[in-house]
Amino acid sequence: MNYYQKEIECASREELRALQDERLVKQVQHVWDNVPYYRKKMEAKGVTPEDIKGVADLHKLPFLSKADLRDAYPYGLLAVPLADCVRIQSTSGTTGKRVVAFYTQEDIDLWEDCCARAICAAGGTKEDVCQISYGYGLFTGGPGLNGGSHKVGCLTIPTSSGNTERQIMFINDLQATILCCTPSYAAFLGETMKEMGLTPQEIPLKAGIFGAEAWSEEMRKDIEQTLGIKAYDIYGLTELSGPGVAFECSAQQGMHINEDHFIPEIIDPDTEEVLPEGEQGELVFTAVTKKAFPMIRYRTRDICVLTREACSCGRTHVRMRKPKGRSDDMLIIRGVNVFPSQIETVLMNHGYAANYQIIIDRVNHTDTFEVQVEMTPEMFTDNMGEIADMQKTLVEGLRSMLGITAKVSLVAPKSITRSEGKAVRVIDKRKL
Amino acid sequence: MALNQISVFLENKPGTLSEVTGVLAQAGIDMRALSLAETKDFGIARMIAVDVEKASDVLKEAGFVNSLTCVVGAVIPNEPGGLDRVLKVFNDAHVNLEYMYAFLGGGDGQACMIFRVGKEMEQEAEAALAAHGIRVLTQEDVSGL
């Protein structure tokens, strides 16, 4: 087994808990002393740092949400003098104001450690050539994995996203063995290389670390086949540092949360009550080592399940199941909750490519819901009836998964725009 | 014996068919017949051409999903009752038809009919036509038309 920091990654649960207790107490004091915005929240709840003796008291603390981050923009949650900060990163800002997160040098160092753990878990060593095709810049994907790759000692190729031809040239010419990017871009790179006539055996890659958007198990299989690699999931949020909050190991049975830095809880999103292990709910994180931008009980809006069962890889850190979807991604169509990842699962189960687009509109006060999928050479037949049947089967499959009826449109291949970063899956034309 | 027809998937939006004909024109493909089938969202363009393999390749390269489909061609006199005679032959031979289309050009006063027959019935269909003295169209004939 390949670990970056074996001692902590495989520490006993008791050791981990003691470390979390100690770090949490310190962090709460740090925030109380330095972040008036959060101190006020604590005071409103009647909690003081003296009430927090360890993880068992975590539930007494108030939550932070995306709304708080917007209210406190830009400096309201900063916990160190600005002079001690060395970097900002920012969210992709799909809704409302961007979130700006601050880092001290130590914060960056610990973040990069987390990414290094993910690379090692995917089998990375100093012998590897790691191509980072996540965007660099304000987006955390590129900088985070770049730092992690350096720490592991991989030869790092910082291609950033875009320029697919050049990406493929570097993968082949420099014999890249690990690819880091969004899953939709990995799928696109795979599709392009397949068209160029490259077989999985000819592609030098052996592993991929893909995250920053929801993707299905079926999409994983597809990417693994076309690129001839093992595909690992990675999870993170800019608010908590970036990628590397949790990562997948070779067991591929959920992502290990870096619990020495991030303490997870699962809550009922409506009642805000903490749920017992194994129950599905909203993931909440408390970052206990971050100094500049320390999030306490930050509500991620990601819906998932935690398990502390022993993992065959030897790591003891709690595992989170792949989030069912970020509640930000969740669509409410005709009053029904729909996650794009559910649609993707149905499409792939029916043999369609993972490239699709969901178009929602409102006509005469009723939501219209259209799923566009690309016709593939494998599925095309000269028989109109058979194509109509395929459409019908897909409509039926979507209805049984989602509970509502979608219009399925077959569009020409390559007509849905390929994305080089996060894929644009949803076009919501409703004026709500 | 049977003919190869190219079937092209068309998204139902303005300009799609002209893109297809543009690609074929560019490649110097000589078309003999074209038939369009459509639903509300998509269509299939079916074509008989001189060099079908080349047509299929250039369309594929241009991003058009297409396939080659086996069809049966018959040359019939361009006069009342011409088609009826052929259909009676098929009926007697229990050949099922999925679709058909026609074009002129089988010589003086001749029409060509293209039939898509039930699965793997092409040979029976052609044999039945030949047995009744109806000329069956070959790929070579298409080039000579």
**B79 and B136 part of one domain:** yes
Q: Using alpha carbons, select from A194, A179, A186 the residue that is nearest to residue A149.
A: A179
Band of pLDDT at residue A1, cut at 50, 70 and 90: confident
Of B19, B42, B69, which marks where a domain is finished? B69
**A65 and A126 part of one domain:** yes
Whether residues B9 and A412 touch (CB distance < 8 A) is answered with: yes
* Residue A274 domain boundaries: 1-327
Chain A residues touching residue B65 (CB < 8 angstroms): 375-377, 380, 412-413
What pLDDT score does A324 carry?
Answer: 73
**A187 and A279 part of one domain:** yes
**A307 and A345 part of one domain:** no
Is residue B39 within a helix (H) or strand (E), and if so which, with residue range?
none
CB-based contact (8 Å) between B60 and chain A? yes
pLDDT at A271 over 50: yes
**B53 and B80 part of one domain:** no
How confident is the model over B78-91, as a mean pLDDT? 90
Determine what percent of chain A is predicted with pLDDT higher than 70. Answer: 96
Chain A residues touching residue B60 (CB < 8 angstroms): 377
pLDDT tens digit sequence for A235-254: 999 999 999 999 999 999 99
Specify whether the CB–CB gap between A239 and A99 falls below 8 A. yes
How confident is the model over A190-196, as a mean pLDDT? 91
Of B54, B69, B84, which marks where a domain is finished? B69
pLDDT at B145 over 90: no
What pLDDT score does A418 carry?
Answer: 74
CB-based contact (8 Å) between B67 and chain A? yes
**A386 and A270 part of one domain:** no
What pLDDT score does A13 carry?
Answer: 95
Tell me the C-alpha distance between A413 and B32, whole Å: 27
pLDDT tens digit sequence for B7-28: 999 988 888 999 999 999 999 9
How close A377 comes to chain B (CA, Å)?
5
* Residue B116 domain boundaries: 70-144
**B62 and B92 part of one domain:** no
Whether residues B41 and A376 touch (CB distance < 8 A) is answered with: no
pLDDT at A96 over 60: no
Q: For residue B67, give the nearest of A380, A409, A414 by CB distance.
A: A380
What does the mean pLDDT of chain A come to?
A: 91
Tell me the C-alpha distance between A223 and A182, whole Å: 11
Is residue A379 within a helix (H) or strand (E), and if so which, with residue range?
none
What pLDDT score does A422 carry?
Answer: 67
Band of pLDDT at residue B1, cut at 50, 70 and 90: low
Q: Kindly list the strands in the beta sheet with A366-374, ordered across the sheet, starting from the edge strand earlier in the chain.
A: A407-411, A366-374, A356-363, A426-428
How confident is the model over A287-297, as a mean pLDDT? 97
**B42 and B77 part of one domain:** no
What does the mean pLDDT of chain B come to?
A: 89
User: What global pTM score does this model have?
Assistant: 0.71
Determine what percent of chain A is predicted with pLDDT higher than 90. Answer: 67
Number of domains in chain A: 2
Number of domains in chain B: 2
Q: For residue B69, give the nearest of A382, A387, A409 by CB distance.
A: A382
Tell me the C-alpha distance between B87 and B96, whole Å: 10
CB-based contact (8 Å) between A410 and chain B? yes
Which of these ranges, A23-32, A86-95, A365-374, has the smallest mean pLDDT?
Answer: A86-95
**B63 and B74 part of one domain:** no
How confident is the model over A75-91, as a mean pLDDT? 95
Chain A residues touching residue B9 (CB < 8 angstroms): 375, 380, 410, 412
How close A302 comes to chain B (CA, Å)?
36
Which of B6, B9, B19, B52 to mutate to probe the A interface, most A CBs <10 Å?
B9
Reported as half-sphere exposure (CB side, CA atoms, 13 A), residue A400 has a value of 9
Reported as half-sphere exposure (CB side, CA atoms, 13 A), residue B37 has a value of 18
How confident is the model over B77-103, as a mean pLDDT? 91
What pLDDT score does B107 carry?
Answer: 67
How confident is the model over A23-49, as a mean pLDDT? 97
What pLDDT score does A92 carry?
Answer: 56
Whether residues A375 and B37 touch (CB distance < 8 A) is answered with: no
CB-based contact (8 Å) between B61 and chain A? no
Band of pLDDT at residue B84, cut at 50, 70 and 90: very high
pLDDT tens digit sequence for A53-72: 999 999 999 999 988 998 89
How close A412 comes to chain B (CA, Å)?
6
Which of A371, A382, A386 to mutate to probe the B interface, most B CBs <10 Å?
A382
Band of pLDDT at residue A94, cut at 50, 70 and 90: very low
pLDDT at B2 over 60: yes
CB-based contact (8 Å) between A75 and chain B? no
Band of pLDDT at residue A392, cut at 50, 70 and 90: very high
pLDDT tens digit sequence for A116-126: 999 999 999 99
Q: Using alpha carbons, select from A75, A23, A3 the residue that is nearest to residue A262.
A: A23
How confident is the model over A313-342, as a mean pLDDT? 82
Q: Using alpha carbons, select from A238, A259, A214 the residue that is nearest to residue A69.
A: A238
Chain A residues touching residue B47 (CB < 8 angstroms): none
**B64 and B129 part of one domain:** no
